[in-house]
Amino acid sequence: MKQAPKTSRRDFIRKSSVLAGALAVSPAILSAACLQPGKKLGIALVGLGGYAGGQLAPALQQTKNCYLAGIVTGTPSKATEWAAKYNIPQKNIYNYQTFDSIADNPDIDIIYVVLPVSMHKEYTIRAARAGKHVICEKPMALNAADCREMIAACKKANRLLSIGYRLHFEPHTQEVMRLGQKQILGKVTEIATGNGFKYTGDPNAWRLKKALAGGGGLMDMGIYAIQGARYTLGQEPLAVRATQEKTRPELFSEVDETVFWELKFPGGQKVTGKSSYNNNWGFLRAKADKGSFELEPAYGYDGLDGKVNGKPMNIPNINQQAAQMDDFATCVRLGKQSRVPGEEGEKDMKVIDAIYRSLDSGKWENIG
């Protein structure tokens, strides 16, 4: 059988970046501030919750191309605390009422939306209209139709949009992409993947409210497993069939707890996935014609680990969020599409939409 040419890990990463760069956007996208050589771009975080405070702000102390320039919060005590901790000037602090006036602030080049899912669309669109480039956290929106509105609004404003898909900048994940997409061990024939955690948090949190979160474990954790299959194969799934299980229906009255799915890909591979707010999962296992590879943990940010043909990958871990934000700052500076643009977020949401349709119908659903 004809074998795909061998590609080194470094080659693959370089070529992927070049490919993303080929999707260059209009030169008008370069703002005057971005053209100042050597200037770090200013990022404003919108929503100072667990992820912004626990991961993004610390990562912004390690970034080379961007820095934490501003914040948007509805809680005055957080504004005071963050201003002192991160040396943020008063003129770069906004609340949800003053948000749009960020348009007049040349310190802010990029707005990073780290809010509950139902607010992603509104704040991404308002950020783009304020003339800022945008990073929006995952899942991109409540559904794929909203993703399309967000993409269109950013295009209209001639601003770049990226999704907080940190794993695309993570070396174990890049190795899995190379092994799978370049068929280094032959064609991938089977993928099993799952992501989840046992939810023991606040029973009134936004994550458990359908209107705010759009769904439960599938939206929050399953999105990684869907992506894992997509980036291992480098293909888009055609159809999906899903089932679900609820062991704590009182807690998960509005959103899904555990979901299981099968994906049909054009290559005919056997691909299964699962997501949960009741099980600590985080793995991706792939079988190929001439071997196997796997990651576990596969999707977190506290260190990934992997094996190829049962032997350790021996790849160092990095600060994923710092790499992700530095890459976007470079994209903004060069006027080049991110390797994780809004369209990537929309692709995952199309699969999630189809999984929810399948949970209702009990049948295979096409991922249009």
Footprint on this chain of ligand NAD (rule: CB under 6 A): 47-52, 74, 114-117, 137-138, 164, 166, 206, 220, 301
Please pick, among 121, 138, 182, 350, the residue that the annotation labels catalytic. 138
For ligand NAD, the closer CB: 52 or 60? 52
For ligand NAD, the closer CB: 77 or 90? 77
CB of 222 to ligand NAD, least distance (A): 12
In 3D, which of 83, 95, 131 has the Cα closest to residue 111? 131
Q: Is 138 in the active site?
A: yes
For ligand NAD, the closer CB: 227 or 269? 227
Strands 110-113 and 93-94: unpaired
For ligand NAD, the closer CB: 92 or 195? 195
CB of 207 to ligand NAD, least distance (A): 7
The dihedrals phi and psi of 253, each to the nearest 5 degrees, come to: -75, -25
22-34 CB burial, b ≥16 within 10 A, e <16: eeebeeebebeeb
Write the DSSP assignment of 139-197 as a string of letters: S-SSSHHHHHHHHHHHHHTT--EEE--GGGG-HHHHHHHHHHHTTBTB-EEEEEEEEE-
Please pick, among 112, 224, 231, 299, the residue that the annotation labels catalytic. 224
For residue 33, what are its two tokens?
């501030």
In 3D, which of 2, 12, 18, 7 has the Cα closest to residue 339? 18
In 3D, which of 169, 173, 168, 137 has the Cα closest to residue 51? 137
CB of 115 to ligand NAD, least distance (A): 5
Side chain identity, residue 42: G
For ligand NAD, the closer CB: 335 or 342? 342
142-151 CB burial, b ≥16 within 10 A, e <16: bbbebbbebb
Q: Is 224 in the active site?
A: yes
CB of 206 to ligand NAD, least distance (A): 4
CB of 113 to ligand NAD, least distance (A): 8
Active site residues: 138, 224
